[in-house]
Amino acid sequence: MRIVFFGDSITDCDRDRNDENSLGNGYVKILADKLRPIYPDMDIDLINKGISGNEVCDLLARVQRDVIDYKPDAVVIMIGINNVIHKFKYGKELNLKQFERDLRSLIKKLKDAGIVVIFLEPFLLPSPDKKRMRPLFNQELEIIHNVCVEMCDEFVAYDEMFNGLCISTPYTVYSEDGVHPSFEGSDIIANTAIKAIRKHLM
């Protein structure tokens, strides 16, 4: 069984780009360490193809080379936060209609290739410097939710869950900057992603 993990820095997590076996030090590595002992007799091939800074359009541009050509059984995607961050950080325009078109095209290419698509919702925690991003991010999340519920095999929601946890716990427990997960945050992502993988592949 082969699974490709596809996304931005949350997936990438300092993986060695020159080593196909490198899973980085984030949720993908935690997930691998949990999943393989459950199925010791199964040949599980996990591939990390996250690239820091990527937006949805970047994934669309490299989906053939970095996912489809590997002929995986499934792809696990987390993407979208950079589309909002780059708007505020660099002034890069975020066209929500184009965002939706790119997202639909990305998922369609994967589904047409016969790949199970598991989409992990991006999230934004209440870091003071990120609060101004929330209204635009909510618009993007609505598009992601509608498209992924319609097109993907599994959609795992994180934004409401993490923000709910932050009501009683400081957001820094899960992410120092409100975007990149801590070990605790990555562990939550890994645990919920495993459930989705086992549901569709095991």
Residues annotated catalytic, as ranges: 9, 177, 180
For the chain, helix, strand, coil in percent to 5 are 55, 15, 30
Q: In what order do the strands lie in the sheet with 45-50?
A: 45-50, 2-7, 74-78, 116-120, 154-156
Q: What is the largest CA-CA distance in the chain?
A: 50
CA 25 to chain centre: 15
Number of CB atoms found within 10 A of residue 149's CB: 12
Q: At what angle do helices 81-90 and 134-151 cross, to 10 degrees?
A: 150
Return the bridge partners of 175, or none.
Answer: 181
The encoded tokens of residue 187 equal 């562990």
